[in-house]
Amino acid sequence: MNDKTGVRTGERAGARGEQARGGVAEQSEITLSFDDNRLAQLVFGQYDQNIAKIERQLGVMATASGNHVVVRGPAEAAELARRVLENLYARVAAGQPATLGDVDGAIQEGAVQGNLFVREPEAGRGAFDQVQTRKRGSVRARNAAQDQYLRLLKNHELVFAEGPAGTGKTWLAVGHAVQLLERGVVERLILSRPAVEAGERLGFLPGDMRDKVDPYLRPIFDALHDFMDGRMVERGMQTGMIEVAPLAFMRGRTLTSAAVLLDEAQNASSMQMKMFLTRLGEGSRMIVTGDPTQTDLPPGQVSGLAEAIRLLSGVEGVGHVVFRDVDVVRHDLVRRIVSAYEAAARRAREQAPQR
């Protein structure tokens, strides 16, 4: 029994040695018993949808009944399914959800755990990193890229994150910034985006300054409300503890003791990016996120994000993480959409020299 997670495990292996004789992989049967029947039902999902996804993804057979689940399949896959179910049980025991997206994360986490136990030097780190905030509680990375992202955020003063939509770049960055604020590491949050669609000439838009920039900064507001109570957000905005502003408003400032996030940075020009990065003051952390494939800059204008990543590669104190289509955590269909676009872009690059 695993006393820490409240899971009892039994295992029976069969077809041993058949791989050498007949090319059949060694089969295994693992039985897990969860202490709390209610939590077990959350792990299994509505109509056992989480169990069904584990079966599809790992190529095993899993039968759930009450607070028990029996997993049958190739020994390695069955062992991975066991780790996935135990990770999901630990999640729900901590008061967190177990959605289909969380199942994807648990599968990737379980695979990494298996690799760490065998050969990696970081064997003491058996789980993905996490963000801890008062409102949201503990939010754990769902894949290896997010895990690397969170570790870079903890250990570097400036971190670049590039990749497609839906990989959690902005959401985790806001969560990390809120965590720094709540722990007293920084004194304020500064969240920014380029407003290129209006040419950063916002005067013609109706309303006061907040009304003018709201359409461009709404995704950051949404993430902020995910990690902080609404009243705290409003109070922070009024006192200046939280500042949300277009990139053009950063010029001439020195940002000290602050967590500074620049989102959609692929839409920053080369000069704007240099201006932004040189605002970094003592005791501050900077996070720059963007998708180089979705720039809205005029044709021929260099993206400040791509240039900054190239120029600052290898500079001490600067971290860089790249997300891929396989790291999309929004919805399976979004992942397939991103993969289709990336495949089309690869084909275009391959055909360009021939033309």
- Same CATH fold assignment for domains 7-14+22-118 and 142-330: no
Distances (CA, A) of 266 to 251, 281, 294, 307: 18, 23, 7, 10
CATH code at 142-330: 3.40.50.300
Distances (CA, A) of 101 to 87, 166, 287: 13, 12, 25
Q: What angle do CA 115, 121, 123 make, to 5 degrees?
A: 60
**Model-wide pTM > 0.85:** no
One DSSP character per residue, 111-148 reads HHHHHHHHT-TTTT--S--EEEETTTEEEE-SSHHHHH
Q: Which helix (H) or strand (E) holds 308?
A: helix 304-312
Residue with tokens 């609404």, as numbered in its chain: 230
Q: In this predicted model, what pLDDT tens digit does every residue of 79-130 receive, in sequence order? A: 889 988 988 888 888 787 888 778 887 887 777 665 544 334 343 445 678 8
CATH code at 7-14+22-118: 3.30.1370.10
Is residue 79 helix, strand or coil? Answer: helix
Say yes or no to pLDDT of 209 above 80. no
Q: What is the mean pLDDT of the chain?
A: 81
DSSP structure class, residue 26 = P
Backbone angles phi, psi at 135, to 5 degrees: -75, -50
Q: Which amino acid is at 132?
A: Q
Strands 158-162 and 188-193, by their bridges, are unpaired
Q: In this predicted model, what pLDDT tens digit does every residue of 62-75 receive, in sequence order? A: 988 888 899 999 88
Q: In this predicted model, what pLDDT tens digit does every residue of 154-174 receive, in sequence order? A: 999 999 999 988 888 999 999
Q: In this predicted model, what pLDDT tens digit does every residue of 226-244 receive, in sequence order? A: 999 989 999 998 998 998 8
- Structural domain boundaries in the chain: 7-14+22-118, 142-330
